[in-house]
Amino acid sequence: MTLSFSRNAAESSERRSLTDDQRGAIMVMGIFMAMLMVGFIYYVSGLGQAVLFRERMQDSSDAGAWAAAVIHARGMNIIAFLNMLMGAIAAVLIALKIILLMCQIASIVCKILCAIPYTAYIGCPLEGPVDALKEGVSEAHDAMQDFADEVLPILTKAERAIAKAIPALAEVKVVAMSLGVLKHPVSFGFMYSKTIRDFSLPVEDDECSRIEEEGKAYIGDLITRPFSGGMAAILDKVMGALGDVAMMINGKVCGDGGSETTNIDMSGMVDENDNGECDGDDEPDWCDTDESGQIQGAQSGSAGDETHPQKVKEDCNLGDKCFQLRVFMIAEDGWLTRGLKGAQLGNWGRSVDQSGMDTFELLTRISVAQSEFFYDEADAHTLRDDWMWHMQWRARMRRFSLGDVSMMTDACGSSGGDICDGLSTVTDILENVLVH
């Protein structure tokens, strides 16, 4: 009975219509879902590759901008160091001028004391050693002055050369990075900045007298270091005044337009000889004068017209475009090819409309970054005179903005008009756009 029922059921299933048979339906759905998942995976993979690509491109432009800013900051620090070296040379020379002035005063006092009968026993024994000391200091002063006259113009030329070379070196560094360590995906990169347009760091010549001021400041700082409070302030003013007098008597560090000798007329301050005059043929030894009856001082410097420490340009303030650097990195061609193939696969092999894709690819192939070099001090904006006399220039990254787009409005000239007014409005907006 049971066997007969099974045989009848099998015969009945064989007679079923194919349309009534639902076995394997899930398999068909699974095949379509698998194909869909493969497309999704391909798209996700392409998206991940695009994100990684953009990250690598942005890292490349950031690295280039940082390297360029560091080179600019180092250039400013090198110029500041050379300024400080000029000030140090001036300090040594001014110190010798002060010592020489003291020796000259001591020599005059000794000669006067020697000429007076009641004080001759004091002045005459000191006259020889003081004169010998004055002569030695005078020789050291003249040697140092000659050294300053030779070295200071050379340092000025070195500063100017550095100011011209640093932007070019930064550009070469960025290009070398794009063709070297950043290659793949980067094909080329470059830096754009005001320093490149001007072919120089934002510095210009300062007056030579500035190194004299810095030299006196160095001497005052050295003398007042053991003291504090009011005593230090008094000593600083005294040393400053003494330095001015010494340069007035023994010549300035920079000179007065040429090599000159400072003479002081002492004919009315010393006793007369037997002939009633100090510049006669029989003048006493203590007169120490030249033929005109003047005590001869030291020689002034002769490098004033050729010696110029550097200062930041007057029209440049911290944070301005003078200190901003922009780096652009361009990727290798064809990075979207794989993504387009994935789109074709998802579209069952049919071609994908690529209108505008070339422009989109070009834009996505470019990464930008901005950096700046700046003077790192809490009150930097109020310490403009110190910017190039301390090695405190640093580099940092900045948010990239379109910033200076004045080139667009410059094309309008002064004629104005509705178009230029509209263009001015557009540029005002673009100047505040943050790209990165």
Q: Do 331 and 412 have their domain in common?
A: no
Q: Do 414 and 302 have their domain in common?
A: no
Specify whether the CB–CB gap between 311 and 203 falls below 8 A.
yes
Looking at the predicted structure, is the pLDDT value of residue 357 above 80?
Answer: no
Taking alpha carbons only, the member of 22, 53, 65 closest to residue 333 is 53
Q: Do 436 and 377 have their domain in common?
A: no
117 preceded by cis ω (within 30°)?
no
Q: How many CB atoms lie within 10 A of CB 304?
A: 23
Specify whether the CB–CB gap between 313 and 194 falls below 8 A.
no
Segment 199-238, tens digit of pLDDT: 999 999 999 999 999 999 999 888 888 887 788 888 888 8
Token code pair at residue 244: 């001015």
Q: Do 245 and 381 have their domain in common?
A: yes
Q: Tell me how many domains the chain contains.
A: 2
Specify whether the CB–CB gap between 289 and 272 falls below 8 A.
no
d(CA 66, CA 291): 66
d(CA 332, CA 132): 77
Specify whether the CB–CB gap between 73 and 395 falls below 8 A.
yes
Token code pair at residue 312: 């930041």
Task: Give the pLDDT score at 419.
Answer: 52
Residues spanned by the domain of 367: 44-270+287-348+355-400
Task: Give the pLDDT score at 366.
Answer: 85
Global pTM? 0.75
Please indicate whether residue 229 or residue 239 has the higher confidence score (pLDDT): 239
Establish if 129 belongs to a structural domain.
yes
d(CA 18, CA 48): 46
Q: Do 392 and 412 have their domain in common?
A: no
Segment 63-86, tens digit of pLDDT: 999 999 999 999 999 999 999 999
Secondary structure class of 192 (helix, strand, coil): strand
d(CA 102, CA 104): 5
pLDDT mean across residues, the chain: 78
Measured CA to CA in angstroms, residue 220 lies from 60, 237, 337 at distances of 49, 8, 70
pLDDT, mean of residues 15-42:
72
